[in-house]
């Protein structure tokens, strides 16, 4: 019996006139994600995507990988057979027997969807007949239509498709269908999650990281490259810009009040990020800021940071608690890398008492002692750029 994979997508199909574009991009992204499996056919039919010609590859493995592609709502490994009641009964029984062999379960039901209305039986009748057949041939099982331990799904379309499991996907929109933005990627827990969330909404992601070498180590930089690589697993190649902020931080320390060190460094990050974004056709910036988490993330501080740039700043974590963010970091696989204990450039010149409610006029005044243009130009002249490929 042929095994195939059914890929369901939700929001993508709501996009009206853009629908074919979103669907085609989703197929392209699936092909890219599964490129190591040779000979697969991936195509659209009945508002779903089918993956066929699996060859000797493990269908469950392919399904698991497909479920990680943004835009995918759920995935099932299905048996594909002719729409013939006897064949359907036999295949359903085989599926249930395999499940029983893997571990006993007390109840099941059969749920049928008849998309091909020319099929001679109605959905209810098919479910009844297939269910009855399973009952007759498996001892100790009962039917429970309300809370079954196992559901056997039967779909009658051009062929009959049978499956028992739906692997949930992340949802979202196909990668790179919603413009491009530049992620300010630190080595912390938050910013990788912020980048992932925007990528999930279809935003193509580039990244910039600021370090303070030699105050921060080479290993801190390697850590950020590792984080970018994990995010690239969900995206494509990520262009990572690495900028040394040390000269700027030293200038700030020499010329600005201590309580403003962090906020002014943050504004310089924004100045530089905006320049990189514009050069790379990114229409926005992304940060991992979450309201009130630290002094530089109070509403007043965020306002002062925003005032540094014209581009919109996307902060997908703004209303999340640390525990939610940490949970997501674990789910996407960045957490273990994020907690490696290397120094961050922001901690190099940490003020003892950072301003909690900075006012823009005061910050602008404090910045007058800095030669902004030269500082930014020097930093950009020494910028390194990497293309980070997925593992």
Binding site for ligand ATP (CB under 6 A): 184-186, 188-191, 209-210, 269, 287-289, 293-294, 296-297, 344-346
Helix/strand/coil percentages in the chain, nearest 5: 45, 20, 35
Q: CA 227, CA 237: separation in Å to the nearest integer?
A: 13
Query: Counting contacts by CB under 5 A, is residue 296 touching Mg ion?
Result: no
Q: Strands, E, within the chain: which ranges?
A: 2-9, 41-45, 48-52, 72-81, 107-114, 142-143, 150-156, 160-163, 167-168, 180-184, 204-211, 238-244, 285-286, 313-314, 384-388
Q: Shortest distance, CB of residue 346 to Mg ion, whole angstroms?
A: 6
Q: CA 273, CA 282: separation in Å to the nearest integer?
A: 10
Name the residue nearer to ligand ATP (CB basis): 164 or 216.
216
Name the residue nearer to Mg ion (CB basis): 188 or 195.
188
Give which of ligand ATP, Mg ion, none residue 339 binds (C-beta under 5 to 8 Å, depending on kind): none
- List residues bridging with 162 in a β-sheet: 79, 154
Q: Shortest distance, CB of residue 10 to Mg ion, whole angstroms?
A: 34
Give which of Mg ion, ligand ATP, none residue 243 binds (C-beta under 5 to 8 Å, depending on kind): none
| Spatial CA neighbour of 28 closest among 74, 58, 69, 78 | 69
Phi, psi for residue 54 in degrees, rounded to 5: -75, -15
CA 225 to chain centre: 18
Residue whose Cβ sits closest to ligand ATP: 188
Binding residue for Mg ion, selected from 186, 226, 249, 334, defined by CB under 5 A: 186
| Spatial CA neighbour of 285 closest among 191, 351, 353 | 191
Q: Shortest distance, CB of residue 191 to Mg ion, whole angstroms?
A: 7
Give which of Mg ion, ligand ATP, none residue 343 binds (C-beta under 5 to 8 Å, depending on kind): none
Q: What SS3 state is found at 241?
A: strand
Q: Shortest distance, CB of residue 245 to ligand ATP, whole angstroms?
A: 7
Name the residue nearer to ligand ATP (CB basis): 83 or 297.
297
Q: Shortest distance, CB of residue 344 to Mg ion, whole angstroms?
A: 5
Give which of Mg ion, ligand ATP, none residue 296 binds (C-beta under 5 to 8 Å, depending on kind): ligand ATP
Query: Counting contacts by CB under 5 A, is residue 354 touching Mg ion?
Result: no
Name the residue nearer to ligand ATP (CB basis): 119 or 215.
215
> Judging by DSSP bridges, how do beta strands 48-52 and 107-114 pair with one another?
unpaired
Name the residue nearer to ligand ATP (CB basis): 223 or 236.
223
Q: Shortest distance, CB of residue 188 to Mg ion, whole angstroms?
A: 3
Query: Counting contacts by CB under 5 A, is residue 188 touching Mg ion?
Result: yes
């Amino acid at each position: 019996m042929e095994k195939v994979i059914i890929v369901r997508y939700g929001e993508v199909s709501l996009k009206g006139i853009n629908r074919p574009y979103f669907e085609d991009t989703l197929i392209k992204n699936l092909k890219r994600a599964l490129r190591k499996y040779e000979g697969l056919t991936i195509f659209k039919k009945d508002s779903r995507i089918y993956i066929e010609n699996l060859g000797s590859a493990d269908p469950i493995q392919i399904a698991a990988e497909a479920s990680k592609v943004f835009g995918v709502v759920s995935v099932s490994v299905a048996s594909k057979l002719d729409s013939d009641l006897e064949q359907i009964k036999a295949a359903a029984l085989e599926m249930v027997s395999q499940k029983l062999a893997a571990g006993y379960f007390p109840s099941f039901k059969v749920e049928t969807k008849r998309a091909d209305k020319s099929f001679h039986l109605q959905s209810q009748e098919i479910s009844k007949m297939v269910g009855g057949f399973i009952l007759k041939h498996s001892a100790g099982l009962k039917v429970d239509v309300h809370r079954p331990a196992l559901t056997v799904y039967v779909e009658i379309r051009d062929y009959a498709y049978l499956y028992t499991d739906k692997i949930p996907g992340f949802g979202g929109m196909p990668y790179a269908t919603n413009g491009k933005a530049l992620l300010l990627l630190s080595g912390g827990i938050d910013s990788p999650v912020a980048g992932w969330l925007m990528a999930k909404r279809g935003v193509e992601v580039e990244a910039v990281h600021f370090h303070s070498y030699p105050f921060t180590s080479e290993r801190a930089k390697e850590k950020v490259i590792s984080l970018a690589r994990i995010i690239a697993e969900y995206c494509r190649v990520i262009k990572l810009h690495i900028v040394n902020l040390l000269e700027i931080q030293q200038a700030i320390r020499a010329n600005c009040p201590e309580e403003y060190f962090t906020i002014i460094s943050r504004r310089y990050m924004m100045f530089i990020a905006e320049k990189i974004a514009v050069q790379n056709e990114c229409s926005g910036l992304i940060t991992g800021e979450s309201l009130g988490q630290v002094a530089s993330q109070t509403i007043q501080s965020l306002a002062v940071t925003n005032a540094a740039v014209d581009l919109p700043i996307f902060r997908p974590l703004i209303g999340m608690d640390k525990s939610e963010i940490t949970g997501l970091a674990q789910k996407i696989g960045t957490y273990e890398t994020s907690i490696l204990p290397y120094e961050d450039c922001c901690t190099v010149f940490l003020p003892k008492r950072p301003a909690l409610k900075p006012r823009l006029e005061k910050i602008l005044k404090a910045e007058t002692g800095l030669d902004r243009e030269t500082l930014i130009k020097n930093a950009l002249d020494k910028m390194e750029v990497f293309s980070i490929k997925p593992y």
